[in-house]
Structure 1
Amino acid sequence: MNELQARIETYIAREWQRRGAFAWALSPLACVFGAVAAARRGAFAAGWLEQVSIGVPVVVVGNVTVGGTGKTPTVIALVEALRAAGFAPGVVSRGYGARVRTP
């Protein structure tokens, strides 16, 4: 990520959290995103989109906010608790700042 892109992302995240005029200006896009996500969930529920079962439970630790929200410590604590309970969890991560184009 180049410096300009990083600065833009930081600005947008900060302004969104402040809920000022910029955030209100983005609200229509948030509504469109919500509608698309709801339609997608509905398509899965109706059977129009195929669900894939991988045969193991999956826990997703994520957040709309990038960085500094405690996702990594949460994953570490979750893995430790699962190991203490006798499970063998695996962790899949995109990785901080990754630029990988293929799996």
Structure 2
Amino acid sequence: MSLPPSIEMPTEADIIKACKEFETYETRDVMYKVALLHIQNYWEKPVDMADAIGVLLLSWNQQFYRIHKGLDLKRVEDCIIKNMDYLSELKGRTINSL
């Protein structure tokens, strides 16, 4: 399995550091849980998956998208479509197996 050329795989140390930072600043991960459930329920339906990712991105990065012309959900959908095979390979894995 190879990564698409535009995705750089984070190291284990990068992931651990990011998780610790997240837990420090974000004590409630409700939006993540809702988005994950939506993605699981609508797997292989790129429009619905993009909506779930959009909810997550907009809730976590509201200021960024307000300043930078909003979130283009069509681009998110296109990215999902382009990478669906790779995403399907990753679907059953845990973060520890990556």
Q: Shorter-chain TM-score: which interval?
A: under 0.3
User: Scaled by the length of structure 2, what TM-score is found?
Assistant: 0.27
Higher RCO structure (Cα 8 Å, ≥6 apart)? 2
* Larger Rg, first or second structure (1 or 2): 1
Give TM-score scaled by structure 1 length. 0.26
Which is helix-richer, 1 or 2? 2
